[in-house]
Amino acid sequence: METVNFLSSHGDLRIDASFKDITTIKMGGKIKYLVSPFDLNRLRLITTYLKEERIPFKVFGRGSNMICGSGDYDGCIIRLEHLNHYHFDKDSVEVEAGMMVPRLANVLASQGLSGLEFASGIPGTIGGLVYMNAGAYKKCMMDVVESVTVLKDGELCTLSRDEVQFSYRSSIFHKHPDWVIVAAKIKLTKGSVNEIKELMADRLRRRKATQPLDKPSAGSCFKNPEGDFAWRLIDAAGFRGYEYHGIVVSNKHPNFITNEKDGKAEDFIATANLIQAKVKSEFNVDLKMEVEIFNC
């Protein structure tokens, strides 16, 4: 009861929520505590408390890149949906980690500020995209991020772009799961409002035409191997349309594995493992997962 009282006094709290409700692929077990801190200071208090009480925790964004196990999570999931403010500083924008990227991209477009068009269709938060160094259309977050503000051991610090150690779909935060991304500074350039909006609209049309956006998924399942595309290898290995216990390799885009009949993380992982094994056997290529596996 003490933990419930503490968390509820510093954020919106749900008890026994489900990972199904906070992931785009709609799967996973129950969560003991799900809390959304009211502000940055409350986030600091909550993370400090959880560490002192030895309660495991993880920060979630939109859950668009997560595969969560069917077992219950006896810890706390922190969502930063209240940390969604931004302000402009000359030719850049400082934005809190909980801000949804499509929303931010639209704000920037309306003011004729270019830089984030490539990410305008990615259904995630700024914090999540920085964590993953997410990208599309041959651009990624490392191309636009100037610095990242991080909560480390109860203290705020700022990491330069180089200190973030961006690499393909990765960053320093993968090595430090207890560090919490709270904001990022993104560099921008002045552009035409109409041209920016048209580019974003074109990218959205392309996504709708080539990706199964109407099905629950976690986005691209595998990273592209050097010099090739994961979807091509999956297709060549004969997995387009493959189904296992409600988990389906998309006919529209084979690197999207969708959850169409209340599938479970274990079924997703079994399907991914099968794909990896066959691609390795037939093409001698090691496909690496892009999605994050949690609580499995």
What pLDDT digit, counting tens, does each position of 27-55 carry? 999 999 999 999 999 999 999 999 999 99
The average pLDDT across 164-178 equals 95
- Establish whether 220 is a catalytic residue: yes
Q: Sheet harboring 243-244: ordered strands across?
A: 217-220, 256-259, 247-249, 243-244
Supply the DSSP symbol for 225. Answer: P
- Establish whether 207 is a catalytic residue: no
Regarding pTM above 0.75, the answer is yes
Q: Which listed residue (42, 62, 96, 290) is catalytic?
A: 290
The whole-number pLDDT of residue 236 equals 98
86 has pLDDT over 90: yes
For the chain, domains (ranges, CATH) are: 2-79 (3.30.43.10), 86-195 (3.30.465.10), 212-294 (3.90.78.10)
Percentage of the chain exceeding pLDDT 70: 100
* Number of Cα atoms under 13 Å in the Cβ half of residue 3: 19
Question: By C-alpha distance, which of 158, 146, 141, 67 is closest to 101?
Answer: 141
The whole-number pLDDT of residue 137 equals 87
Q: Which amino acid is at 288?
A: K
Out of 29-33, 144-148, 151-155, least confident range: 151-155
Helix (H) or strand (E) holding 248: strand 247-249
Please, what's the b/e burial string for 114-140 (b: 16 or more CB within 10 A of its CB; e: otherwise)?
bbbbbbbbbbbbbbbbbbbbbbbeeeb
Q: Which listed residue (36, 171, 220, 250) is catalytic?
A: 220
Q: How far apart are CA 153 and CA 197, in angstroms?
A: 41
Q: Which listed residue (62, 169, 203, 217) is catalytic?
A: 169
